[in-house]
A and B are shown apart, each in its own frame.
Chain A
Amino acid sequence: MSLAAEKETAPDSSLKIVLDATCTFCGCVCDDIDLTVKDDHIIEAKRACVLGKSWFFNHHTDQRPSCLISGQPASIDDGIERAAQILTAAKYPIIYGLSDTTCEAQRLAVGIGDWIGGTVDTTTSVCHGPSGMAFQGVGEVTCSLGEIANRGDLIIFWGSNPAESHPRHFTKYSLMPKGMFLPNGRKDRTCVLVDVRKTKSARAADIFLQIKPRKDFEALWTLRALAQGLQLDAQVIEDETGVPLAAWQDLMDRMKRAKFGVFLFGMGLTMTRGKHLNSEAVLALVRDMNAYTRFVAKPMRGHGNVTGADNVVSWQTGYPFGVNLSRGYPRFNPGEYTTADTLARGEADAAMIIASDPMSNFGQAARERLAAIPYIALDPKETPTTRAATVAFTTATYGINVAGTVYRMDDVPIPLRPAFDSPHPSDFDILSRLEKRVKQLKAAVRLP
């Protein structure tokens, strides 16, 4: 971010320029985007990738009402009242989503969860939640993306396709930058891609290893064994992983020779059979490598502030996701308090969905349960989830209309620089009012 980052007036007085705006589409959270704004449309987004351009160009003012109750326009006051009644009357209310809103709004959502004795879960549980469990089991040898840009001479992407999911990761952080210890940029780095598909990211890699589907765990433990110098059966390894032992040995030799190795892993690991055990294998391998050289691991995070959600929920409850507050203190148990489970098992009897679309992204049983219970949805866009909501708030878009803080995928907080005002309230506005009303209703219940 430049020191000159501030709103300027463009030569054409009908245009506004916003320097160093922050893109919140993906976990890269690029904060060097220069926007040109005309009324409530962003017409140029310099340096944004294809995903960032689509994000900025398609978030102009939504003409829907700010509040709908059972699909009918309603006042925000009425919406807040109905939402508060739903949440306080429920026996097992859940709050879910949160990865596409500010940390300030996330904090309020956790507070509401506490007041109503609910369960707070974020989209992390269906993203890198298994990695969150692995962090607790193994720990994380890690660093910032800036260190990767300045030091990383061996970059391994595993189960991740940044060319399509994080398009500027290569150019801004992991491959192209000329760093303090890598004066020649890309020429000083070796990039390895491991995946079951030869994705578009393979073109950017020096070495591509195509493993068999669902064999990540076996492949990672092959590397762990090679790190210890163990002798392995070449035929067994190739049959199991789909990659010759010699290729794994070559990779291990490169890992040991690296000055600063980097392991960036995606949902190819967490969403596949093995889940947290796959992530644990990565973290344990990277920990092992530090006996030989400096090596770090980072999950490739998807949504713009999913990392913030992990941080905020952890600050407030001690756990990153899947937290139950019904006993007045936090309990963490993935599989029990995570939303895919509480919905599919029919336990949740009310919900508040913030900036997420489970009606599109969850399995059939979970969707059917959500459709059968009263729930509140907050989203800037119309989605299958907002359409079926009992109370739907159309909210202003974070980063485009709303200021605040988000966390980049490496846990670095980044401020937002909004481009234009929205007629709709922010998530923070709605949740502030809702928390106040929930507290009133809960206090009334406690009075003799």
Chain B
Amino acid sequence: MSEIFILIPGRTSKQGCGISEGKFSEGYLSEINLLQVSPKDMQRLGLNDGDRVRLSSETGAVEVAVVAAKGDELPSGVLFIAYGDLSSRLMGQDTHGSGMPTSKGLDVEMEKIA
């Protein structure tokens, strides 16, 4: 059973520190490979921290582990992931004459991997 969400990739402290530690460092890789989901959506979809989901956009698909977002940081229906390899695989290819691929506010389909 899949559902459409809005994905917001963005910076985090850990991701920023991880860039200096190295793109192949454990800290960096673990941060960019973790999807934050609102606690309400986690509960509704029967997801637990560490469960893996498949995210698909019109340009790509990735598999990623989920974690509940802290407090009320994320509204229901919105997902967050730290910028990196996975988020970039999902962003749009067309820059609409701007040079900037649509990199935030992406429509993605989320499906729990059994």
Interface residue ranges, A against B (CB under 8 Å): 25-26, 50-51, 54-55, 57-59, 121, 125-126, 129-130, 133, 161, 164-165, 167, 196-199, 210, 213-214, 267-268, 270-273, 275-276, 302, 321-322, 334-335, 338-341, 344, 357, 360-366, 381-384
Given A51-B16, A364-B89: A384 and B23 within 8 A (CB)?
Answer: yes
Q: How far is the CB of B24 from chain A (nearest CB, A)?
A: 7
Asked if A334 and B92 sit within 8 Å, CB to CB, the answer is: no
CB contact between A129 and one of B74, B91, B99 (< 8 Å): that residue: B99
B40 beta carbon closer than 8 Å to chain A: no
Contacts of A275 in B (CB 8 A): 96, 98, 100, 102
Instruction: State the 3 A-B residue pairs at the shortest beta-carbon distance, nearest first.
Output: A338-B99, A335-B97, A54-B17
Interface residue ranges, B against A (CB under 8 Å): 6, 8, 10-13, 16-18, 20-24, 59-60, 71-75, 78, 80, 83-85, 88-89, 91-93, 95-105
CB contact between B99 and one of A199, A210, A334 (< 8 Å): that residue: A334
Contacts of A59 in B (CB 8 A): 20
Asked if A54 and B92 sit within 8 Å, CB to CB, the answer is: no
Bound-complex Cα distance A149 to B11 (A) = 25
Q: Which of A121, A276, A357, A363 has the most CB of B within 10 A?
A: A363
Knowing that A272-B105, A364-B60, A382-B22 are A-B contacts, what are 18 other residue pairs whose CB atoms are under 8 Å apart, sorted by A's residue number? Answer: A50-B17, A54-B18, A126-B100, A197-B80, A199-B73, A267-B10, A268-B10, A275-B100, A302-B11, A334-B99, A335-B95, A335-B98, A338-B99, A339-B99, A341-B95, A341-B99, A360-B23, A365-B93
Bound-complex Cα distance A276 to B98 (A) = 7
Given A199-B73, A364-B89, A382-B22: A165 and B105 within 8 A (CB)?
Answer: no
Asked if B89 and A363 sit within 8 Å, CB to CB, the answer is: yes
Asked if B103 and A126 sit within 8 Å, CB to CB, the answer is: yes
Asked if B91 and A363 sit within 8 Å, CB to CB, the answer is: yes
Asked if A58 and B13 sit within 8 Å, CB to CB, the answer is: no
Asked if A164 and B101 sit within 8 Å, CB to CB, the answer is: no
Given A213-B78, A361-B88: A50 and B101 within 8 A (CB)?
Answer: no
Asked if A25 and B96 sit within 8 Å, CB to CB, the answer is: no
Bound-complex Cα distance A340 to B24 (A) = 23
Contacts of B104 in A (CB 8 A): 267-268, 271-272
Given A25-B20, A121-B99, A363-B88: A51 and B13 within 8 A (CB)?
Answer: yes
Asked if A270 and B100 sit within 8 Å, CB to CB, the answer is: yes
Contacts of B89 in A (CB 8 A): 363-364
Asked if A214 and B100 sit within 8 Å, CB to CB, the answer is: no
Bound-complex Cα distance A302 to B88 (A) = 17
